[in-house]
Amino acid sequence: MSKCEQCIVREFSSLKSLSKEELLNISGCKTSKTIKKGEVIFEEGESLNGVYCVKDGICKLTKLSANGKDQIVKLVVKGDLLGQRSLIVNEAVNLSAVALNNMEVCFIPKDEIFSNLKNNSDFSMDMLKQMAHDLKESDNVIVNMAQKSVKQRLAEALIYIHTSFGVDKEGFLNVILSREDYASVVGTATESAIRVLSQFKKEGLIATSGKRIKVNDVEGLKRIE
């Protein structure tokens, strides 16, 4: 079993303040897991007995709305933890996590996290910082949802994915979402998302090949009203 201490992901994650001994403890009780594209890591309402540390791959966090549609609340990458929020308040998770490509995750049991929170104030602080950051992001999302048009939201989603997750050798976005997923990110009907993407394509702001999307003109997307 690989050691957490040597995991490249560690330096990006909230785990960076843990000492060698603490990391060894985690290594000893963690379980690695491979998750295939499309598979569910956990589902809204489930109780988790620990957190997942994302070693590789990308997943979406979704929440089921009253009208039966899924809303994508966040995209999660390498280095992020999954499930820490619900662990801390000791509740069932409020979001579902679904892999968007093949993933490598490590499951770290609850007790391990709590004992480190209790004994290592730097770790607590990092966790606090992570949550404070997430909270700020959430505030931004709320304002965007409330005040911007579908076109603007979709343009921003494309820019966000472009800059945060990067592109492959051909220039296509590394994160591949279905049109339905895009609709679910910006909170609109699938047809509306398709229409707006078609328009962006006509205007040369993006190019597509199947479900792969290439962002040609970030500045142009920023100017969308």
Partner DNA sequence: ATTTAGATATGATATTTGTCATGTTTTGAT
Partner DNA sequence: ATCAAAACATGACAAATATCATATCTAAAT
Q: Summarize as ranges the residues that interact with a second copy (CB under 8 A).
A: 63, 65-67, 69, 71, 73, 84-86, 88-89, 91, 94-95, 117-119, 121, 124-125, 127-129, 131-136, 138-148, 186-187
Nearer to DNA, 17 or 101 (CB): 101
Which burial class, exposed, middle or buried, applies to 210 when counting CB atoms under 10 A from its CB (0-12, 13-18, 19+)? exposed
Residue from 105, 179, 184, 206 in contact with DNA (CB under 7 A): 179
Pick out residues in 146-165 that bind DNA (CB under 7 A): 149-151
34 binds, among DNA, a second copy, none (CB under 5 to 8 A by kind): none
Nearer to DNA, 140 or 208 (CB): 208
Say how far residue 171 (Cα) sits from the centre of its chain.
21
Residue among 150, 171, 192, 166 at smallest CA distance from 75: 166
When asked if residue 178 is in the footprint of DNA (CB under 7 A), the reply is yes
Q: What are phi and psi of 35, to 5 degrees?
A: -125, 130
CB of 139: closest distance to a second copy in angstroms? Answer: 5
Distances (CA, A) of 224 to 113, 158, 180, 189: 44, 12, 21, 19
138 binds, among DNA, a second copy, none (CB under 5 to 8 A by kind): a second copy
Rounded distance between C-alpha atoms, residue 144 and residue 89, angstroms: 27
CB of 128: closest distance to a second copy in angstroms? Answer: 5
Rounded distance between C-alpha atoms, residue 100 and residue 177, angstroms: 8
When asked if residue 188 is in the footprint of DNA (CB under 7 A), the reply is yes
CB of 140: closest distance to a second copy in angstroms? Answer: 8
29 binds, among a second copy, DNA, none (CB under 5 to 8 A by kind): none
Question: What pairing do the DSSP bridges indicate for beta strands 31-35 and 50-56?
Answer: unpaired
Q: How many CB atoms lie within 10 A of CB 183?
A: 25
When asked if residue 210 is in the footprint of DNA (CB under 7 A), the reply is yes
When asked if residue 31 is in the footprint of DNA (CB under 7 A), the reply is no
121 binds, among DNA, a second copy, none (CB under 5 to 8 A by kind): a second copy
Say how far residue 57 (Cα) sits from the centre of its chain.
10
Residue among 219, 216, 224 at smallest CA distance from 186: 224
Q: Specify the DSSP class assigned to residue 215.
A: E
Q: What are phi and psi of 115, to 5 degrees?
A: -65, -35
Nearer to a second copy, 31 or 115 (CB): 115
Q: Which residues bind DNA (CB under 7 A)?
A: 149-151, 178-180, 187-192, 194-195, 197-198, 208, 210-211
